[in-house]
Amino acid sequence: MRAILPTTDFHPPIPRVGDLPDPAPGQGEVLVAVEAAGINHADLHQLRGAYPPPPGESDVPGLECAGVVLEGEMGSPWQPGVRVMALLGGGGHATRVAIPTGQLMPLPDNLSFVEGGAIPEAALTAWVNLVVEGGLQAGETVLVTGATGGMGSFAVQLARELGARVLAAGRSRERLELLRGLGIEEVCLEGANLPGQVREATGGRGVDLVLDFTGGPETAGHLAALAPRGRLVVVGLVGGRRGEVDFGLVLSHRLHVIGSVLRARPREEKARLVADFAAFALPRLRDGRLRPVVDRVIPLERAAEAYQALERGGAFGKIVLSMV
């Protein structure tokens, strides 16, 4: 198969594409011919040597893909020729990948492989952090930071479908405005006045949940945007690892600060999350209420260009590798 080689000595991370043996599916896995695969910051960190795959997972980068089953599992719906999309522990940036059946979802007919390859990581990250970690209830208000990115652009839609009122934060008003078509109610620019903008949009109350994809120095403002008993779920750190926390505010407003990663969760837990997400979201993906946002598609052989584009920033939605 063609694949991004599992090397970790690149500074900056420049993926190299080469030939590797096809993976042999183990017990409870199927072999899939990958057609498209989203790229994620975890792939960049992995190439830098800073984010090794969990034990037992492929050391080829790639946390999500869409494709066609080549070798299925007896007695399961996953038979050769079935179109699928999947959450992966690794291995998606290749033309073949072995996938645990619990992490597969059918790819709806109305979605292309490129769209399918852009869904699983953003969708499951949004699901686990809005529903499981964040405890989002219909009628609550959510602020999604980094909302124009690959994760945020799906999270705002999922939050809306879960019955929340959704505010979107970012640094580019122009890109944020594009999210209005996805059902967000208000855009807020990052900076000193972020809590003020959120209070204005919420009648002075603040939001119930911040789904935070950026972290860093803006964290102080994200905490200050919360209503009493609000939850800050820290998921991404594109803005940096360090920020200032006003513990007086945390204490007096009885705030909850929650950190969360998806990739490290055991396969059994991922299978439960995928099943719950699929039950809720597949009908909405089929009728177009949920739709991934794809910024651009780049062939695997030009993976370096795709990785550099993610590193540079400025995309609206996901960057996807195509295998053909």
Query: Where on the chain is the footprint of ligand NAP (CB under 6 A)?
Result: 40-42, 121, 125, 146, 148-152, 170-172, 175, 190, 213-214, 216, 218, 235-239, 260-262, 310, 313, 315
User: Among residues 71 and 185, whose Cβ is nearest to ligand NAP?
Assistant: 185
Measured from the CB of residue 144, what is the shortest distance to ligand NAP in angstroms? 9
In angstroms, what CA-CA distances link 239 with 170, 173, 219, 309, 314? 11, 17, 9, 17, 13
Measured from the CB of residue 188, what is the shortest distance to ligand NAP in angstroms? 11
User: Among residues 78 and 213, whose Cβ is nearest to ligand NAP?
Assistant: 213
- Beta strand 226-234 pairing with 256-259: parallel
| CB 118 within 8 Å of CB 35 | no
| CB 250 within 8 Å of CB 223 | yes
- Beta strand 83-87 pairing with 96-100: unpaired
Q: Where are the alpha helices (DSSP H) in 20-99?
A: 41-48
Measured from the CB of residue 272, what is the shortest distance to ligand NAP in angstroms? 16
Measured from the CB of residue 239, what is the shortest distance to ligand NAP in angstroms? 3
Position of minimal CB gap to ligand NAP: 149
Q: Where are the alpha helices (DSSP H) in the chain?
A: 41-48, 113-117, 120-127, 152-161, 173-177, 194-201, 219-224, 247-252, 267-286, 303-312
Measured from the CB of residue 86, what is the shortest distance to ligand NAP in angstroms? 15
User: Among residues 164 and 176, whose Cβ is nearest to ligand NAP?
Assistant: 176
Measured from the CB of residue 221, what is the shortest distance to ligand NAP in angstroms? 10
User: Among residues 51 and 280, whose Cβ is nearest to ligand NAP?
Assistant: 51
- Residue 144 has φ and ψ, to the nearest 5°, of -105, 120
**Burial (CB count within 10 angstroms: exposed 0-12, middle 13-18, buried 19+), residue 129:** buried
User: Among residues 30 and 39, whose Cβ is nearest to ligand NAP?
Assistant: 39
- Beta strand 2-4 pairing with 318-322: unpaired
User: Among residues 30 and 257, whose Cβ is nearest to ligand NAP?
Assistant: 257
